[in-house]
Amino acid sequence: MEEDDLFVPDIQYLVFRKCPADWRLKPHHVSNYDITYIIKGKARYTIDQTLYELSQGALLCLPEGVSKAAFTYADHPMHCFSVNFILKNTAGQKVDIPFPHVNDVGLRNDLIRLFNDLVYTHTERQAGYGIKCRGLLLLIIHRLLELTVYNTNASDEDYRIQKAIRYITQHYTERLTVKKLSIIAGLNAAYFGVLFKRATGLTVNRYIAATRVQKAKNLLQSGGCSVQDAAEYCGYCDVFHFYKQFKSIVGVPPSRYIPKGGTRHED
């Protein structure tokens, strides 16, 4: 499975299942690719004639042709996400994913959120839901590869940092503080600052400045926008402070990005 390949998933079946006490899965051979993530309760699975006692945090990733049967326990009925899909590359060829058949990845908030988003999007079927579903499933596949194959396990704290980064991207024109972003991430301000720099390589304030400068650079390059206009649009009250930060981050003054004949501000 090449990392630089482009993959197109096609969901055949998707469910969040709360099993009744007498739930059973009759023996059958898996079609397409089948992923089950148990988040509560217990179940006994028979995979290619091998028995597995599985509980919350267990992950089943079964390729086409594997035999599967299962039942849950009446005193601990299983709750799980289950998705069956076809995965092809852009040439239309089926792709194999090097997942182990059975693994214990634990209960992971980021993974549960992705599955919840996928089920909700697939159920609601709002405009563009197919594109979003494919994107969410690819995120799930990539996360599972991190956990089971690549051994690059991102923590729940990293997910909280990503939440703050998304907020910065959407609200960069507003007044942003470390305290406000730490609250959004659900972390102590000092600890948030440490984790943020570990994840991005930048302090929070430097990352905010870099985001604003990048947006301003795009505005200037598009034409019809002065340096002062770009500064104000991107959240700067002081154009000279903007100029200083822009040159510090990019290495050249903002006027360099105004197309010839556009509106310039004196450097």
Distance CA 142, CA 150 (A): 10
Cβ-count burial of 163 within 10 angstroms (0-12 exposed, 13-18 middle, 19+ buried)?
middle
Q: How far apart are CA 95 and CA 143, in angstroms?
A: 17
Structure-token match 């051994």, residue found: 151
Is 261 or 178 the better-scoring residue by pLDDT? Answer: 178
Hey, is 83 helix, strand or coil?
Answer: strand
pLDDT for res 2: 46
Note the pLDDT of residue 92.
85
Mean pLDDT of 52-57: 93
SS3 of 14, please? strand
Q: State pLDDT tens for residues 174-217.
A: 999 999 999 999 989 999 998 888 888 889 999 999 999 989 98
Mean pLDDT of the chain: 88
What's the confidence (pLDDT) of residue 24?
A: 96
Class of residue 38 by CB neighbours under 10 A (exposed 0-12, middle 13-18, buried 19+): buried
The answer, yes or no, to whether residue 155 has pLDDT greater than 80, is no
**Res. 265 pLDDT band, cuts 50 70 90:** very low
What integer pLDDT is reported at residue 4 of this predicted model?
45
d(CA 119, CA 114): 9
Least confident of 2-16, 21-35, 60-74: 2-16
**What whole-number distance in Å separates Cα of residue 119 and Cα of residue 69?**
23
Residue 199: its pLDDT value, please? 80
Residue type, 210: A
| Token duo for residue 36 | 């089950």
| Separation CA 250–CA 241 (nearest Å) | 14
246 CA to centre of own chain: 30
Asked if pLDDT for residue 148 goes beyond 90, the answer is no
